[in-house]
């Protein structure tokens, strides 16, 4: 293995340095940076201080090998001499002066550079938005970093991607479409896919200059830009890479990471790997950033010939009958260890997602204790009770003397005794936990039988059954149904002044309680809440309560008592143990469930445009549980492969199916197993050259798709 050193920082011009000898190169994937250990030959004319001056931390070091002996070069390492370790021993009998360089791959610059540190979000400022109307060409690629908002894609599962991408131009003239963030609550916001998030991270946090080439990743993912992950029927992904990147990026938190870490997080979510491959391209060393799916790799077999003899005494491997090349090819692997660890068997995995949520419409009941001249008023006395209340016009007419009215003092928000009566007519609750007992709150019909609310009255057996949900406070959450224009309904409150025949949005402020299912009408005067175009002197909320015809209903999302949980039944014929060995995958932010199916829902009668943010992660969770069981029901398999030369046949990303010449399936599965044979990939290589031994070690791994 020869070593070339850059003549000056960033020059791209290299010279082979005979003083350097590589003893170890580790080519790695994902968030593990490649490394190399290089010895420096010192002598009387070139000591450690001279070495420090020559091997500057900004001058790249390239390790290469001539595989075929014909002058062609394979680059094994491309990086920077980050550490220089000098060891001086001054014993008379053992005097020596040694130095080694510990170099990190070029991707280390992307991990350390200030420009690759991720915090905040790229968005359009008001100035850019306004300027687009007058100068669309000049501002089409403009964005600003909003440091006060974290880089979390689909934060809380809520879409926060801009509806349209920006157009950007790279230093080489290439044009790309890149999505950025939009503001929270934007009715036109779209959901980030992992693909769009990857392109965002790579574009805004890459280092445009330097030896890392990233353009191929942008080109390979261009076909999936802006794709709706719920619309697979209209799009055929060109590769497994694009397919796995088209999952949603819900709650992908890249705040306070660097670009290398963020790409690794994203790749792990998608079941992919990230690699930076050094290459000679037109006589120049460049490191190509590459994302790859294990299924896309070239399938190869390891070669390790049998020795010894058959039972009849004939040689299994007659070396005299084959050429030297045949011997080496048949004995490519000098040693290999397969370790089947039964203590790591997982045959009963369980994937746990978020708490299930259901949208439904529920009726509310008064949240105040019965009040004289409002509740339980007999029909002959109702007109008299109404005369005690003051309409807005009557309040204005009374002027300063209005405080003389007992009704005004108690029930008007400006009354002197209002705080002691603030909930009367205004607080309406579901009573989901039974805190409002009938012995205290029962009043005229239909509010004469207070009891804990039974959710089975508004939902079928797919949601709940009588008594199945525990009695506890449950708050209202915004609806998943959207209006026809795409805007949110939020917590949708309606009132009726005729016993439920007609429903209207209430007038004035409505506060949603945070600690239980309830709302509070913030009207200044309860007689001011009326029907559209109504007359407070004829019908209002206060009068309707006296007449026993005022109703309140709310359409909102409720948290159920169960989570989304997927399991996989163990196949006892394909596992060495009869016990149920579990693994808990706890991903509430990734696997979610929200639906309105099987519930009473008033919004189905509203012009909703059939837009619903329903989500059901059970299919994905079940796929993950199945994948874990299939791939681990025979235990963990550790693989250590050694090749007795500097190997150039296996590339990072190649699939390894087994040892062909020995009939060994590398995954070690039983004959009837349904697991794939191709789920082992080369994710790293280590090259060793310590003077007495030359060796290549293959690092094999399997990655499960968890998205």
pLDDT at residue 417 greater than cutoff 60: yes
Point out the domain boundary residue: 560, 591, 611: 560
Beta strand 252-253 with 94-105 is unpaired
Are residues 490 and 382 located together in one domain of the fold? yes
Chain CA centroid to CA 148, Å:
21
Burial of 705 (0-12, 13-18, 19+ CB in 10 A): buried
94 vs 266: CA distance, rounded Å: 52
pLDDT at 3: 93
Angle at alpha carbon of residue 416, lines to 547 and 405, rounded to 5°? 50
Give the pLDDT of residue 626.
Answer: 81
Whether 413 shows a pLDDT value over 90: the answer reads yes
- Together in a domain, 544 and 572: no
Residues 570, 691 within the same domain: no
Residue 553 phi, psi dihedral angles, 5° rounding:
-135, 155
pLDDT score of 607: 62
Kindly state whether residue 291 falls inside one of the protein's structural domains.
no
Last residue of a domain, which of 79, 105, 131? 105
Residue 289 maps to a domain: no
Is 147 part of a structural domain of the chain?
yes
Q: Are residues 331 and 381 in the same domain?
A: no
Looking at the structure, do residues 531 and 672 belong to the same domain, yes or no? no
Q: Are 521 and 507 in contact (CB under 8 A)?
A: no
| Of 671 and 615, more confident | 615
Compute CA distances 455 → 129, 211, 248, 452, 465, whole Å. 46, 62, 32, 9, 8
| DSSP single-letter state for residue 226 | T
Q: Are 36 and 83 in contact (CB under 8 A)?
A: no
Residue 294 or 404, more confident: 404
With respect to residue 288, please indicate whether it lies within any of the assigned structural domains. no
pLDDT tens digits, one per residue of 66-75: 765 666 788 9
Whether residue 672 has pLDDT greater than 50:
no
Closest of 479, 657, 704, 689 to residue 38, by C-alpha: 689
Strands (E), 497-592: 510-512, 518-521, 551-567, 584-586
**Section 514-523 average pLDDT:** 95
Q: According to the per-residue pLDDT averaged within each range, which of 33-47, 317-331, 404-418 is highest? A: 404-418
- Contact at 8 Å (CB) between 165 and 197? no
Residues 409-425: b if buried by 16+ CB within 10 A, e if exposed: bbbbeebeeeeebbbbb
* 644 pLDDT above the threshold of 90: no
Residue 526: count other Cβ atoms within 10 Å of its Cβ.
Answer: 22
What integer pLDDT is reported at residue 340 of this predicted model? 67
Q: Is the dihedral of CA 150, 156, 162, 165 positive or negative?
A: positive
Indicate whether 373 and 475 sit together in one domain: yes
Order of strands, sheet of 365-366, starting from the edge strand that comes earlier in the sequence: 365-366, 427-429, 518-521, 510-512
pLDDT digits (tens, 9 = 90+) for 313-363: 766 555 555 444 555 555 677 777 766 666 777 778 889 989 999 999 999
Count of H-run helices and E-run strands, the chain: 15, 35
Is 172 part of a structural domain of the chain?
yes
- Pairwise CA distance, residues 5 & 48, whole Å: 17
Q: Among 81, 25, 13, which residue's Cα sits nearest to residue 285?
A: 13
- Write the CB contacts of 170 (distance below 8 Å, at least 6 apart in sequence): 176, 208, 215
Q: Is residue 292 part of a domain?
A: no
Q: What is the pLDDT of residues 244-289, one digit of tens each?
A: 898 889 889 999 999 999 999 999 888 899 999 998 877 788 999 9
Instruction: Note the pLDDT tens digit of each residue in 544-600.
Output: 999 999 999 999 999 999 999 998 876 655 667 767 777 888 888 778 899 999 999
Q: Report CA torsion sign: 398, 401, 404, 406.
A: positive
pLDDT at 604: 83
pLDDT tens column, 92-130: 766 677 899 999 999 999 999 999 999 999 999 999 989
Strands (E), 326-466: 335-341, 350-363, 365-366, 427-429
Where b means 16+ CB within 10 Å and e means fewer, 33-54 reads bbbbbbbbebeeeeebeebeee
- Same domain as 474, residue 568: no
Question: Tokens for 534?
Answer: 């109504």
Q: Tell me what the pLDDT averaged over the chain comes to.
A: 86
Do 616 and 669 lie in one domain? The reply is no
Contact 91, 49 (CB under 8 A): no
Mean pLDDT of the region 462-486? 89
Q: What is the rounded radius of gyration, in angstroms, for the C-alpha atoms of the chain? A: 35
Same structural domain for residues 494 and 608? no
Q: Given the DSSP bridges, would you call strands 212-213 and 284-292 parallel, antiparallel or unpaired?
A: parallel
| Within-domain flag for 279 | no
pTM of structure? 0.66
Residues 553 and 571 in one domain: no
Other CB atoms within 10 A of residue 484 CB: 11
Are residues 420 and 529 part of one domain?
yes
Closest CA to 278 of 289, 293, 264: 289
Question: Both 478 and 507 in a single domain?
Answer: yes
Domain that holds residue 478: 358-560
As for how many domains the chain has, the answer is 5
Residue 199 covered by a domain: yes
Q: Residue 703: pLDDT above 80?
A: no
pLDDT digits (tens, 9 = 90+) for 133-153: 888 888 889 999 999 999 999
């Amino acid at each position: 293995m020869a070593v070339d050193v850059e003549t000056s920082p960033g020059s791209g011009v290299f010279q082979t340095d005979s003083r350097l000898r590589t003893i170890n190169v580790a080519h790695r994937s994902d968030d593990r940076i490649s490394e190399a250990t290089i010895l420096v030959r010192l002598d009387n004319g070139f000591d450690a201080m001279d070495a420090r001056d020559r091997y500057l931390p900004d001058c790249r070091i390239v390790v290469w090998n001539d595989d075929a002996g014909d002058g062609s070069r394979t680059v094994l390492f491309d990086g920077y001499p980050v550490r220089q370790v000098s060891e001086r021993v001054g014993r008379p009998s053992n005097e020596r002066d040694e130095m080694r360089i510990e170099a990190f791959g070029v991707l280390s610059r992307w991990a350390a550079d200030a420009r690759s540190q991720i915090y905040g979000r790229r968005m359009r400022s008001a100035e850019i938005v306004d300027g687009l109307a007058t100068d669309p060409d000049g501002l089409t690629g403009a964005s600003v970093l909003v440091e006060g908002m974290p880089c979390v894609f689909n934060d809380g599962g809520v879409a926060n991607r801009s509806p349209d991408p920006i157009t950007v131009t790279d230093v080489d003239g290439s044009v790309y479409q890149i999505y950025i963030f939009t503001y929270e609550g934007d009715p036109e916001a779209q959901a980030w896919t992992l693909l769009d998030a990857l392109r965002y991270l790579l574009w805004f946090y890459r280092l445009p200059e330097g030896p890392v080439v990233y353009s191929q990743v942008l080109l390979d993912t261009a076909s999936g830009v802006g794709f709706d992950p719920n619309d697979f029927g209209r799009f055929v992904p060109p590769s497994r890479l694009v397919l796995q990147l088209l999952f949603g990026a819900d709650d992908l938190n890249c705040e306070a990471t660097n670009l290398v870490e963020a790409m690794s997080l994203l790749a792990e979510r998608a079941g992919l790997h990230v690699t930076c491959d050094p290459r000679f391209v037109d006589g120049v060393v460049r490191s190509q950033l590459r994302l790859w799916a294990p299924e896309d790799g070239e399938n190869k077999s390891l070669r390790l010939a049998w020795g010894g003899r058959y039972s009849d005494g004939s040689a299994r491997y007659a070396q005299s009958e084959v050429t030297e090349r045949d011997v080496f090819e048949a004995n490519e692997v000098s040693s290999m260890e397969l370790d089947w660890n039964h203590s790591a068997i997982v045959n009963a995995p369980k994937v746990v997602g978020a708490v299930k949520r259901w949208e439904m419409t529920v009726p509310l009941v008064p949240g105040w204790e019965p009040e004289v001249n409002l509740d339980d008023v007999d029909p002959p006395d109702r007109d008299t009770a109404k005369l005690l209340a003051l309409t807005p016009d009557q309040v204005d007419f009374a002027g300063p003397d209005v405080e003389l009215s007992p009704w005004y003092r108690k029930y008007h928000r400006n009354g002197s005794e209002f705080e002691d009566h603030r909930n009367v007519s205004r607080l309406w609750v579901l009573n989901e936990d039974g805190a409002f007992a009938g012995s205290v709150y029962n009043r005229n019909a239909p509010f004469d039988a207070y009891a804990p609310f039974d959710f089975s009255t508004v939902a079928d057996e797919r949601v709940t059954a009588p008594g199945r949900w525990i009695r506890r406070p449950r708050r209202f959450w915004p609806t998943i149904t959207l209006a026809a224009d795409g805007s949110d309904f939020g917590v949708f409150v309606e009132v009726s002044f005729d016993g439920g025949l007609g429903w209207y949005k209430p007038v004035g402020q409505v506060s949603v309680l945070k600690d239980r299912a309830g709302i509070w009408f913030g009207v200044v005067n309860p007689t001011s809440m009326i029907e559209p175009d109504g007359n407070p002197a004829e019908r209002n909320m206060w009068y309707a309560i006296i007449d026993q015809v005022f109703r309140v209903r709310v359409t909102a999302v409720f948290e159920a008592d169960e989570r989304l949980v997927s399991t996989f039944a163990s196949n006892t014929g394909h596992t060495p143990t009869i016990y149920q060995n579990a693994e808990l995958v706890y991903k509430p932010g990734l696997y979610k469930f929200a639906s309105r199916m099987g519930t009473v829902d008033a919004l189905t009668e509203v012009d909703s445009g059939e837009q619903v943010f329903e989500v059901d992660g059970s299919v994905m969770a079940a796929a993950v549980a199945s994948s874990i069981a299939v791939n681990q029901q025979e235990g963990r398999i550790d693989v250590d492969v050694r090749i007795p030369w500097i190997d150039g046949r296996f590339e990072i990303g190649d699939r390894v199916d087994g040892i062909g010449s020995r009939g060994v399936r590398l995954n070690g599965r039983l004959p009837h197993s349904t697991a794939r044979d191709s789920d082992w990939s080369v994710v790293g290589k280590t090259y060793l050259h310590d003077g007495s031994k030359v060796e290549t070690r293959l690092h094999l791994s399997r990655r499960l798709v968890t998205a």
